[in-house]
Chains A and B, each alone.
Chain A
Amino acid sequence: MTLALEPVDVKALEIVSNERDVLRDLFTYLNYVGERSIKRMTRTNQIPHADLVRMAKLLGIDPPEKNGWMYAQPYWIDFIDELALNLHAVSYDLQGEFRSVSSMEPSFIENYIDINKTGLKKFLELSPAKQEQRILDCLNQAPAPGRYDRNSINEFFHFGPCSRLDRFSSWGMNTGVMPTLKFPEIRTFLLNVLKQCPPGQWLSVPALIAYLKTNHPYFLIPQHLPKANKSGDSIGRYENFHEGNQTAYTPESIPPDAPDAFERVEGRYVERFLEHIPLIMRFVDLAYTPQKYTGAPPSLGQLKAFRLNERFLRLLDGAQNHPKVTVQPNFDVVVESDFYPAQIIGQLGTLGAQVSSPASGHGAYLGVIQLKKSSVAAALVQQPGLDVIDLLKTLSGRDLPPNVQTELDEWAGHAEQFVLYEGFGLLETDDLPPEAAAAVVERITPSIYLVRQPQYVHKVLEAKERAPLRLSHMLELSQVPEAAVSVFPKQFPASEPEKAKVVKVSRVVMLNYLFADDDAFEATQKMLAELRCPFQPDARARSLTIQQKDQARFEEALVRLADKFTIEVE
């Protein structure tokens, strides 16, 4: 069933979209945390500023303000950090310890962010759509049970990373109706309502609120409330919601019997809900009025329209659209997917360089990876059993362009162009004893052998009374004695003494003028500056040093100062 809401013309409105892809940014964060050992700050338990800056660079977002935590809107990386924790992909301490009886706040000592391998593995095993669904569930269930401030972590009071609208004051949030509300169910209900709306059209937010008022007036606050709370006090329907200055105490709450009470409470919630999960997850674009709100805060009616995308509907319908991979003749591999395909990007990322990953305009992922010869060769070195052609065929579901296949065949041989033998030694001998033959890996020439365990080989040769020479080439090639038979460089007879190094020195003649008078000293400096004459002042010695080539300009300065000072140079 399609919900027919009033369409809106958004020409005069300010359109807001979320440019960030939660799933992609989450994997970037996890990669960063996995590669580096991040110790959270002792006092605030936040990610250190330097790491935030580095991560911001990786994500392509603005670096954080130095004291960004003071602002109401959380920084995007902090949001991703909390999400990773809630998804059990990482772990770190949230409790801290009070270091002394006088401590006002806990300290977080040596609190490193650890990758939760089990949790992350479970997450990685999911398809991209399921991963996105897990994130949606995680945001839906927020906050985690047991948080002392759980009653304030909701759209009424709490700012999300994409929030623009102001919030109700959280004063009194632990009393009244608020602790009884079940936000996960409320959000699920609203997402199901949105699912009935047609995608790709700008729809009126007031119309959505009106629809809810008519058809689901108690979707947020149940019709029948508990008569009293644990303390025996009666519960008022809207007593948690006060209009007016939100930074000061306002005793009057919104009256439940007011004709527009639904719009003032539930309506405000719907507006703030839309700019929370749906906007964060790029399910919607929003259109705000550019006019300033003049009524009693928090604002109402500033959010005018919303537009859903197909991606949202497919996710809620559980449709499993597999990522589409296309290998083009110009070696570009185009990846299209509703949701960030981390596993495919991880596989293809080792074969080339990510050229671009532009947003497709409807929240889906569109990435282009260009296959590179060196990257393919490096991947083959790292994973000896890898069949690049087979991998690309499997991912794309079709044959590769003939030129790409031919080149990939050739690139496979590129991995063998430079083979480095690390931890081996060389044995030079014309007569290899059988005892040392076991250590030989390859006979390079008739008298040079590539051997493993050179120390062992030396010991064997000594035991066989071969009088072997042992040479170490750690820093530079050691020269072998002149009498030795070797392809290595020999010791040369003492070289001729080095000739004296020729150094050219430029001569600059400096003139130093010592002033007896402070005023004349300062005035001359200013005049020299006016004349663009470089000089070196020494206020302590009251001296000015100039190069001899600037003497004419210095004398001109003295002439110009003639009406104030009669300066005689001795």
Chain B
Amino acid sequence: MSVQQLLITMCAEMPDAEINAIRKARGFSASETASRTAFASFFSTTIGLQQVFSALSAEEIFTLRLLNEIGEVDVAFFERLYGAGSQSATYTQRHKQTFDAVKKNLVRRGVLVIAEAKLRGEAVQMERWRFALPPEFAPHLPPLPGVQDLQSGHSEERLLRKKLLTLLGGEPPSPRDPHPFEIVEGSLYLNGKPFTLAALREWQISAWEIASASFTPAVPGSLSPVQAALKLLSPKRWTAAKDIEPALKIFCFGGKIPPADKLLHKGWELGLLSRQVIAGSVHYSLAAALQPAPEDQAYPAVLEWADTNTKPDAVKIDLRLAPLPDLAQLNLLARLQLDNGNLFAAPSLAKLGRAAPTQRAGGLSLWLAQHCPAFEKALETVSARWGKTLVHEDLLIARVRNLSLRVQLERELKGDIVVLNEHFIAFPLEARASVEKVLKKSGFVIKTVKP
């Protein structure tokens, strides 16, 4: 069930006493709760929300934040907040106390949606209850305790660089790092995927998980400590390690939680977090995600990380200094190769051909053309050839001998048909059903030819 369906069901089936309790807690007027249908709309508003949230405990707020990440849960989810009965008891006995607490503290305060799901089988009523937080409430949930400061703090890149330098034979940042960084057919690959900023961030998170021995608990809904930290922290809001610990206990319920200061320090070392000292203690925030260089970015005449003098037809790249977005961009435009312990970028007509015109006309591309004649020549060649040879895939081609049938198909497919000549047409794979419908209606059959 979607949250909206849960909400409609709740408003339709909830007893008057419960509705009255919500009305009082959120401060709705009697007329706003008079119609059950209209009440569903009032419930989703922010009326009285701040007041209710301010009355909730920090753990309850953290639980609601986690619930917002997950979506819909059953009563067992709230075991992390209110505990549960004996393991050997029945489901109902085990969760009765939890259920009562959820109803009293969250449902009757009007911050949680509750409804009974229609399940197949013989589930007891306690198993059928479903809870959700309306997505409209999420932006109003109080943030983690911390300091709002627009300063960017200090971000660490040392381990990232160490990882890049493994390409030239350097030591890996961690002996337990299983993800290779290598050159395959002229392209950089990280963990078997082409090197991009997204692949780099994936590696950073993975390395953080490994370094912190962070595992996803077996309890449904719980996150690993690393995933929890990434969800809890936000850019420009600085949080001390001790302030995140109660939230980790909720987010990572059922799992092993490493000390928060060690966990966040490792995240900083891997470049995912920023840090600064505020009032004598170290505070952390989420580091700004790496963004590709703007296409119109102007490059200086001399780039300290790119040497055009070593080889006439290639640029030597200094992995210690090359900005990561530029390295990812270079991976799209040039053939990369190792020579005598150095990384060189040479022009690749295939890669330049695959690149979009805006990428070929970007700042880095222009700088390469200006400072390396081989790149200039390659770009000219590609610009002259680009758009003159096209390979179309994932489409269906048909030979239609009957003119009236072709007209019917053109009328049915409208913009999804290309007439190639007087007999041949092409259309997307998804349009096949529409084509078959026309053929069936007009009494024609399909003769299929496969490669």
Q: Which among B354, B389, B419, B420 has the greatest number of chain A C-beta atoms within 10 A?
A: B389
**CB of A49 to closest CB in B, whole Å:** 18
Q: Would you call B444 and A417 a contact (CB within 8 A)?
A: yes
**CB of A459 to closest CB in B, whole Å:** 9
Q: Would you call B392 and A488 a contact (CB within 8 A)?
A: yes
Q: Would you call A450 and B397 a contact (CB within 8 A)?
A: yes
CB 8 Å contact bits of A440-465 with B (1 = contact, 0 = none): 00001100101111110110011101
A414 interface residue (CB < 8 Å to B): yes
Q: Would you call B387 and A484 a contact (CB within 8 A)?
A: yes
CB 8 Å contact bits of B225-265 with A (1 = contact, 0 = none): 00000000000000000000000000000000000000000
B418 interface residue (CB < 8 Å to A): yes
Q: Would you call A415 and B445 a contact (CB within 8 A)?
A: yes
Once the chains are docked, how many angstroms separate the CA of A419 from the CA of B388?
28
| Interface locus among B46-54, B85-93, B287-295, B424-432 | B424-432
Q: Would you call B396 and A445 a contact (CB within 8 A)?
A: no
Q: Would you call B398 and A466 a contact (CB within 8 A)?
A: no
B416 interface residue (CB < 8 Å to A): yes
Of B382, B419, B444, the residue contacting A467 (CB under 8 A) is B382
CB 8 Å contact bits of A479-511 with B (1 = contact, 0 = none): 011011111110000000000000000000000
B349 interface residue (CB < 8 Å to A): yes
Q: Would you call A473 and B444 a contact (CB within 8 A)?
A: no
Q: Would you call B446 and A454 a contact (CB within 8 A)?
A: no
Once the chains are docked, how many angstroms separate the CA of A384 from the CA of B419?
28
**CB of B54 to closest CB in A, whole Å:** 33
Q: Quick one: which of B392-447 are within 8 Å of A by CB?
A: 392-402, 405, 415-421, 424, 426-431, 439, 443-447
Q: Would you call A420 and B430 a contact (CB within 8 A)?
A: no
Closest Cβ neighbor of A428 among chain B residues: B390
> A472 — which chain B residues lie within 8 A by C-beta?
393-394
Once the chains are docked, how many angstroms separate the CA of A415 from the CA of B439?
12
B16 interface residue (CB < 8 Å to A): yes
**CB of B409 to closest CB in A, whole Å:** 9
A416 interface residue (CB < 8 Å to B): yes
**CB of A464 to closest CB in B, whole Å:** 9
Q: Contacts A426-B395, A470-B393, A473-B395; is A488 near B448 (CB within 8 Å)?
A: no
A378 interface residue (CB < 8 Å to B): yes
Q: Would you call A483 and B387 a contact (CB within 8 A)?
A: yes
Of B392, B394, B400, the residue contacting A417 (CB under 8 A) is B400
Q: Contacts A418-B405, A426-B397, A454-B392; is A374 near B382 (CB within 8 Å)?
A: no
Q: Contacts A418-B445, A462-B350, A469-B386; is A475 near B428 (CB within 8 Å)?
A: yes
Of A450, A465, A473, A540, the residue contacting B393 (CB under 8 A) is A473
Q: Would you call A470 and B391 a contact (CB within 8 A)?
A: yes
A249 interface residue (CB < 8 Å to B): no
Q: Would you call A421 and B391 a contact (CB within 8 A)?
A: no
**CB of B29 to closest CB in A, whole Å:** 15
A373 interface residue (CB < 8 Å to B): yes
A471 interface residue (CB < 8 Å to B): yes
Closest Cβ neighbor of B424 among chain A residues: A444
Q: Would you call B420 and A475 a contact (CB within 8 A)?
A: no
Once the chains are docked, how many angstroms separate the CA of A476 from the CA of B392?
12
Q: Would you call A416 and B401 a contact (CB within 8 A)?
A: yes
Once the chains are docked, how many angstroms separate the CA of A467 from the CA of B382?
6
> A468 — which chain B residues lie within 8 A by C-beta?
353, 389-391
> B419 — which chain A residues lie within 8 A by C-beta?
487
Q: Quick one: which of B39-83 are within 8 Å of A by CB?
A: none
Q: Would you call B418 and A477 a contact (CB within 8 A)?
A: yes
A429 interface residue (CB < 8 Å to B): yes
Of A424, A467, A487, the residue contacting B418 (CB under 8 A) is A487
A308 interface residue (CB < 8 Å to B): no
Q: Would you call B397 and A473 a contact (CB within 8 A)?
A: no
Interface size class of B (residues with CB under 8 A): 35 or more
Once the chains are docked, how many angstroms separate the CA of A471 from the CA of B428?
11
> A465 — which chain B residues lie within 8 A by C-beta?
349-350, 353, 381, 385
CB 8 Å contact bits of B108-144 with A (1 = contact, 0 = none): 0000000000000000000000000000000000000
A12 interface residue (CB < 8 Å to B): no
A541 interface residue (CB < 8 Å to B): yes
**CB of A409 to closest CB in B, whole Å:** 16
Q: Contacts A378-B445, A468-B390; is A445 near B385 (CB within 8 Å)?
A: no
Once the chains are docked, how many angstroms separate the CA of A424 from the CA of B396?
7
Q: Would you call A448 and B420 a contact (CB within 8 A)?
A: yes
Once the chains are docked, how many angstroms separate the CA of A422 from the CA of B436?
14
Chain B binding surface, main DSSP class: mixed
Once the chains are docked, how many angstroms separate the CA of A378 from the CA of B416?
26
> B444 — which chain A residues lie within 8 A by C-beta?
374, 377, 414, 417-418
CB 8 Å contact bits of B129-161 with A (1 = contact, 0 = none): 000000000000000000000000000000000
**CB of B129 to closest CB in A, whole Å:** 23
Q: Would you call B424 and A415 a contact (CB within 8 A)?
A: no
Q: Would you call B405 and A417 a contact (CB within 8 A)?
A: yes
Q: Which among B394, B398, B424, B445 has the greatest number of chain A C-beta atoms within 10 A?
A: B445
Q: Contacts A374-B444, A414-B445; is A421 near B396 (CB within 8 Å)?
A: yes
> B431 — which chain A residues lie within 8 A by C-beta?
476
Of B385, B416, B447, the residue contacting A420 (CB under 8 A) is B447
Q: Quick one: which of A407-437 are within 8 Å of B by CB?
A: 414-430
Q: Contacts A420-B449, A540-B16; is A466 near B395 (CB within 8 Å)?
A: no
B357 interface residue (CB < 8 Å to A): yes
Closest Cβ neighbor of B429 among chain A residues: A474
A85 interface residue (CB < 8 Å to B): no
Of A373, A420, A423, A473, the residue contacting B398 (CB under 8 A) is A420
A56 interface residue (CB < 8 Å to B): no
> B450 — which chain A residues lie within 8 A by C-beta?
422-423
Q: Would you call B421 and A445 a contact (CB within 8 A)?
A: yes
B17 interface residue (CB < 8 Å to A): no
B280 interface residue (CB < 8 Å to A): no
Q: Contacts A420-B446, A475-B428; is A427 near B390 (CB within 8 Å)?
A: yes
CB 8 Å contact bits of B168-195 with A (1 = contact, 0 = none): 0000000000000000000000000000
> B382 — which chain A residues lie within 8 A by C-beta?
467
Once the chains are docked, how many angstroms separate the CA of A457 from the CA of B34?
68
B300 interface residue (CB < 8 Å to A): no
Q: Would you call B416 and A476 a contact (CB within 8 A)?
A: yes
Q: Contacts A418-B405, A448-B420, A474-B430; is A467 near B389 (CB within 8 Å)?
A: yes
A-B residue pairs in contact (CB < 8 Å), sample of 26: A381-B448, A418-B401, A419-B448, A420-B448, A426-B392, A426-B426, A428-B390, A428-B392, A452-B451, A454-B391, A454-B393, A462-B353, A465-B350, A466-B385, A467-B349, A469-B353, A471-B390, A471-B393, A473-B392, A473-B394, A473-B395, A474-B430, A476-B415, A477-B427, A480-B387, A488-B392
Q: Which 5 A-B pairs have the closest CB atoms?
A: A467-B353, A484-B387, A473-B395, A452-B451, A426-B392
B residues with a Cβ closer than 8 A to A are: 16, 34, 349-350, 352-354, 357, 381-382, 385-402, 405, 415-421, 424, 426-431, 439, 443-451
A residues with a Cβ closer than 8 A to B are: 373-374, 377-378, 381, 414-430, 444-445, 448, 450-455, 457-458, 461-463, 465-477, 480-481, 483-489, 540-541
Known: A417-B400, A427-B389, A450-B424. 11 other contacts (CB 8 A): A374-B443, A414-B445, A415-B447, A418-B439, A420-B449, A422-B448, A444-B420, A463-B350, A467-B349, A473-B393, A476-B430
